[in-house]
Amino acid sequence: MTPLSIAFVADYFCAWMGGANILGFMLNCAQRAAPVQNVRIHLLLSARTLPAAAQAQIDDFLPLRADQLRADGPLAALIDTARPELLIFYKDLERTLDALQIDVVGPTGMDLGRLGGRPWFAYIPDFQHQHLHQFFSQDERFGRDRLFRALVENSVGVFVNSATVASDIQQLYPSAARNARILRIPQLLPRVDYALPDGIDALRARHRVRSRYILSCSQRWLHKQHDRIIEAFARVADEQPDLDLVFTGDTAETRDPQHGARIEALIDARGLRARVRYLGMIARDEQLALIDHAQLLVQASLFEGGPGASGTLEAALLGTPIVASDIGPNRELYFATARFFDAGSSEALAQQIRQSLAAQAAGGNLRTPPFDAEQIEFLATACGIQLLAAMRAAAASAGLTRQAQRAEATAALATSAAPAISASATPAAAAKVAAATQLA
């Protein structure tokens, strides 16, 4: 039986680190399930992400092995989490999908319109612009609403990370939602194994981090509330003189360019310059090691689109204690050993930090991972099966299976002097299609 061919288009997700991780986790699960589901998976990315010299050599698309790429930022995170063998860089998306005989696309946060009748899934991360409108301009709010409504109306289904986002779609776009298929992404379980060539002590020394530290893994965005974490740490710092506070993630905040300067001033004002460390973007193996050895992980976000954001999923899987803001999506991480605090109170956060540290000092068994490696493999595969089954159902209902596409392409070639699929009209292009198919 010919495999179902599914394309994941990475452009939208590679715009920010959280998106790259979400897609990476989805691919991780889907790839585990692909053999038993008879599915072939392709990972696509716009050729505009390549250097200009490389773009000039591409007629239609170019398959590249992941180990050939010098990736950084979100793309590096995607490769680290998904571990794909191959990425396909496209110039024309529809021609590339035709050449690869893709049956279904998605999920993606790009509005793909009709896409030649090919079914595609959308992804909506959250409605932060509606709930925290003070962080967005009017144009940004209107733009996000236009895009999200189009995603609901034009796709065959919308994937979301939480019940909160599903409810928001129903409330904000009731007419469009009545005809939409809203699908909850199953709890994604990424790999949390890591390797350090020189060990955790050398890693800490390299980043000038002491052996006891609180960790927060998030970009320094306004709604991540780094200021609240620092204020809470200031309340417990004298009680814990050997404890540091460590942040990982990008420090830029384009919505408020002065935000970073205010954070740095706050660190100085509280006398914490020697004890608060911003590491910036680091390799995933290093981040996992820091999560694994932290006293606890803090996530103080005002808003998230799903459970497991900002390192809480990895901390839960590694058994690291978590202190998180009391927002709906954080409570949906059902297997986490977490303490929750009022997201608007630095004192409430400080109190939960104290209680967690006290429980550890008393010898509480707080660092037991909820699943062993075999259970994670089983659950991740089950997640992948659910994702792929939804996409297979969409392809079947749209009548655009891989076999049907082949029949249509054959009929078109028989009745036209010009090739119907120009991307495979030359031996070189045919070789690229073959290479992409063999490695996918």
118 token code pair: 């090919």
User: Bridge partners of 8?
Assistant: 43
238 with 111, same domain: the answer is no
* Tens of pLDDT, residues 178-196: 888 898 888 878 788 899 9
Structural domain includes residue 353: yes
Global pTM reads 0.81
Q: What is the pLDDT of residue 305?
A: 87
Is 90 exceeded by the pLDDT of residue 404? Answer: no
Residue with tokens 């409605």: 127
**Residue 425: its pLDDT value, please?**
35
Whether 15 is in a domain gets the answer yes
Do residues 278 and 425 both lie within one domain? no
Distance in angstroms (rounded) separating the CA atoms of residues 201 and 214 = 16
The answer on 328 and 244 residing in a single domain is: yes
Do 272 and 402 fall within a single domain?
no
- The confidence band for 430, taking pLDDT boundaries of 50, 70 and 90, is very low
Q: Is residue 440 pLDDT above 60, yes or no?
A: no
How much is the average pLDDT of 300-313?
A: 89
401 and 343 belong to one structural domain? no
| Residue at which a domain ends, from 361, 393, 411 | 361
Whether residue 160 is contained in a domain is answered as yes
Please check whether residues 145 and 222 belong to one and the same domain: no
State what percent of residues in the chain have pLDDT above 90. 58
Is residue 310's pLDDT more than 60?
yes
Give the pLDDT of residue 60: 87
Task: Assess whether 225 and 324 both reside in one domain.
Answer: yes
Residue 194 lies in a domain: no
In total, how many domains does the chain have? 2
- Domain co-membership, 41 together with 97: yes
The predicted pLDDT at position 410 comes to: 46
Query: Do residues 222 and 260 both lie within one domain?
Result: yes
Per-residue confidence (pLDDT) for residue 412, from 0 to 100: 47
Residues 376-380, mean pLDDT to the nearest whole number: 88
pLDDT in tens, 15-54: 988 899 899 989 999 999 999 999 999 999 999 988 888 8
Same domain, 47 and 175: yes
Assign residue 185 the CATH number of its domain.
3.40.50.2000
Q: Is residue 372 part of a domain?
A: no
Q: Is residue 72 part of a domain?
A: yes
Domain range for 258 is 199-361
Whole-number pLDDT of residue 426: 40
Please tell me whether residues 123 and 143 are part of one structural domain.
Answer: yes
pLDDT tens digits along 335-347: 877 899 999 999 9
Domain boundary, last residue among 315, 334, 361: 361
pLDDT at 365: 58
Are residues 213 and 185 located together in one domain of the fold? no
**Positive/negative CA dihedral, 391, 392, 396, 402:** positive
Q: pLDDT of 207-253, one tens digit each?
A: 999 999 999 999 898 999 999 999 999 999 999 999 999 999 989 88
The pLDDT value recorded for residue 402 is 43
Reported as a single tens digit per residue, the pLDDT across 317-334 is: 999 999 999 998 898 887
What pLDDT is attached to residue 408? Answer: 53
What is the pLDDT confidence band of residue 432, given thresholds at 50, 70 and 90? low
Whether residue 367 is contained in a domain is answered as no
Residue at 371 is within a domain: no
Domain boundary among 327, 361, 395: 361
Q: Summarize the confidence of residues 351-373 as an average pLDDT.
A: 85
